[in-house]
Amino acid sequence: GAGVSQSPSNKVTEKGKDVELRCDPISGHTALYWYRQSLGQGLEFLIYFQGNSAPDKSGLPSDRFSAERTGGSVSTLTIQRTQQEDSAVYLCASSLGGTQSSYEQYFGPGTRLTVT
Amino acid sequence: AQRVTQPEKLLSVFKGAPVELKCNYSYSGSPELFWYVQYSRQRLQLLLRHISRESIKGFTADLNKGETSFHLKKPFAQEEDSAMYYCALSPGGFKTIFGAGTRLFVKA
């Protein structure tokens, strides 16, 4: 079956512009996660969704970052007024969710964002 | 604070040599711990989790609560083991905290 997909794979934008990153999770996965992978920084947790709700938004770096998920499926991460420090690979992952917290996360290929 | 520390950014070993990738965590409860791996040009994927007590591709990891460590070990490294390895902690719920990663390079 299809894995987690993300689009676009690469995005180059000018400083100050808004960008939208999309994630299509594996069908049936109720939990969805966004991470940021910066060079030498590892994976930084941004937000996760359980269904359409986001119980934990603590990782969003600033109010320029927002995310939504509709229909318990596709999610969009929006970055407003992009800054050069937003340049990174943005990873999405999904998992079965439910009541057990240790479900394996399946990762997408990532979106490489470059802010010039 | 919940934290995962991988002290080595880069680890280089010869093929056939033992390898140990270090991971220390900071968490007061009973954590769930994982190792994820990212091979060149591939997606990040789960390698193993401590609750399964499994050995994947010859790798094992033992949770040491006293030392708050979850080091990843393999007795004989192979060239195909060259990859980026991330240790991760799930404190409960769905949040997962990843370490900065260790790049393993296995030399022929």
Pairwise CB contact (< 8 Å): A56 & B95: yes
The CA angle B71-B33-B73, to the nearest 5 degrees, is 25
Strands (E), B1-108: 3-5, 10-14, 19-21, 24-26, 32-38, 45-49, 60-61, 72-74, 83-90, 97-98, 102-107
Pairwise CB contact (< 8 Å): A35 & B98: yes
Of the CA atoms within 13 Å of residue A83, those in its CB half-sphere come to 6
Is the CB of residue B32 less than 8 Å away from at least one CB of chain A? yes
DSSP-derived pairing of the beta strands A65-69 and A88-95: unpaired
pLDDT of residue A102: 57
* Of the partner residues B32, B43, B100, the one whose CB lies closest to the CB of residue A109: B43
Contacts of B6 in chain A (CB under 8 A): 42
Dump pLDDT digits (tens) for A5-19.
999 999 999 999 999
Pairwise CB contact (< 8 Å): B95 & A91: no
pLDDT of residue A100: 55
Dump pLDDT digits (tens) for B13-71.
999 999 999 999 998 887 889 999 999 999 999 999 887 777 788 999 988 989 999 99
| C-alpha distance from B78 to closest chain A C-alpha (Å) | 24
Cα–Cα separations (whole angstroms), residue A94 to A74, A106, B23, B75, B102: 11, 5, 24, 32, 23
Pairwise CB contact (< 8 Å): A45 & B97: yes
Q: How far apart are the first and last CA of chain A?
A: 37
Candidates B101, B76, B16, B37; CA nearest to A43 is B101
pLDDT of residue A4: 96
Asked whether A90 and A109 are in contact (CB, 8 A), the reply is no
* Of the partner residues A45, A108, A109, the one whose CB lies closest to the CB of residue B95: A45
